[in-house]
């Protein structure tokens, strides 16, 4: 079965102590993940090492960075490279979150470089895509999101692209409490898988987990995750509450 993943995206929230307590509270639930199920915690840079040691003895629990720089090293004050992440044993990194595209001017071309940089350092990208409200209202979301994949990922070989995780996050549903309907999520995920299949074949497309992001909560996760092409979620707000996130992990197929 394709990997099913509950990914927490803490964004710029929680103190170190609050983060540590949240991880303790979640791990205390003693969730036993099936071999195809994974949980990721995308935490702020200063919490990576602590979080990694918190989950060290938990099967299929991993830690992710929320971003990395596209260059290898150099005069880029305040930035963190994939090589640095690798040197502390980080194996996942969220890339291209809509907030970074919007506030930090990340482009599809720059993201292609970040993807390469992560892969060169043994880090699996959790590649985010998704359309803004005006594109959804104009009905051109499919072309918009397919373009994000083509420009940032389609230079990869079939062997490599099938190791990635994709997160579809309609921007109009992020942090707004407005979730895409299960039908809208399934429709886009199915479409993205078809776009990947067209270039790389069905076997490759079937390997890639596509997570849904945008106001996932304990209450809507079971229905969203039950869709055949929705392989879990990238969760912002609700990942900051232990009971909410525990229920979301438990909703994985
Ligand atoms: P949200 O954020 O769950 O708070 O909508 C999702 C995300 O941005 O990853």
Residue 176 CA: which ligand 1 atom is closest?
5
Q: Give the phi and the psi of residue 86 in degrees, each rounded to 5.
A: -60, -35
Q: Quick one: pLDDT at residue 56?
A: 97
Render pLDDT for 30-83 as a digit per residue (tens, 0 to 9): 999 999 999 999 999 999 999 999 999 999 999 999 999 999 999 999 999 999
For residues 90 and 64, the answer to whether their CB atoms sit within 8 Å is yes
CATH of the domain at 60: 3.20.20.70
Closest residue by Cα to atom 3, ligand 1, is 236
Ligand 1: centre distance to CA 74 (Å):
32
Render pLDDT for 217-253 as a digit per residue (tens, 0 to 9): 999 999 999 999 999 999 999 999 999 999 999 999 9
pTM: 0.97
How many structural domains does the chain have? 1
Ligand 1: centre distance to CA 119 (Å):
25
Q: Quick one: pLDDT at residue 123?
A: 98
Ligand 1: centre distance to CA 43 (Å):
13
User: Residue 177 pLDDT more than 90?
Assistant: no
Distances (CA, A) of 217 to 2, 51, 80, 99: 22, 22, 31, 20
pLDDT band at 178 (very low <50, low <70, confident <90, very high): confident
Would you name the residues annotated as active-site residues?
Answer: 97, 169
The domain in which residue 240 lies consists of 4-250
The number of angstroms, rounded, from the C-alpha of 150 to the middle of its chain's C-alpha atoms is 18
Q: Quick one: pLDDT at residue 197?
A: 98
Q: Quick one: pLDDT at residue 73?
A: 95
């Amino acid at each position: 079965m394709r990997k099913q993943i509950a990914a927490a995206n803490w964004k710029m929230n929680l103190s170190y102590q609050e983060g540590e307590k949240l991880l303790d509270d979640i791990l205390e639930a003693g969730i036993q993940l099936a071999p195809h199920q994974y949980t990721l915690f995308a935490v702020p840079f200063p919490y990576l090492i602590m979080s990694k040691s918190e989950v060290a003895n938990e099967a299929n629990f991993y830690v992710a960075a929320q971003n990395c720089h596209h260059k290898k090293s150099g005069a880029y004050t305040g930035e963190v490279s994939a090589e640095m992440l690798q040197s502390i044993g980080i194996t996942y990194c969220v890339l291209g979150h809509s907030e970074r595209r919007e506030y930090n001017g990340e482009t599809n071309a720059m993201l292609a470089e970040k993807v390469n940089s992560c892969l060169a350092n043994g880090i699996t990208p959790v590649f985010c895509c998704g359309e803004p409200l005006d594109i959804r209202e104009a009905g051109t979301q499919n072309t918009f999101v397919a373009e994000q994949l083509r420009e940032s990922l389609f230079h990869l070989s079939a062997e490599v692209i099938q190791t990635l995780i994709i997160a579809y996050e309609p921007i109009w549903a992020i942090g707004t409490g407005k979730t895409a309907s299960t039908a809208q999520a399934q429709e886009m995920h199915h479409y993205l898988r078809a776009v990947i299949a067209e270039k790389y074949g069905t076997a490759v497309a079937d390997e890639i987990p596509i997570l849904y992001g945008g106001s996932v909560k304990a209450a809507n996760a079971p229905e969203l995750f039950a869709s055949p092409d929705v392989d879990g979620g990238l969760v912002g707000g609700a990942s900051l509450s232990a009971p909410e996130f525990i229920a979301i992990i438990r909703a994985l197929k």
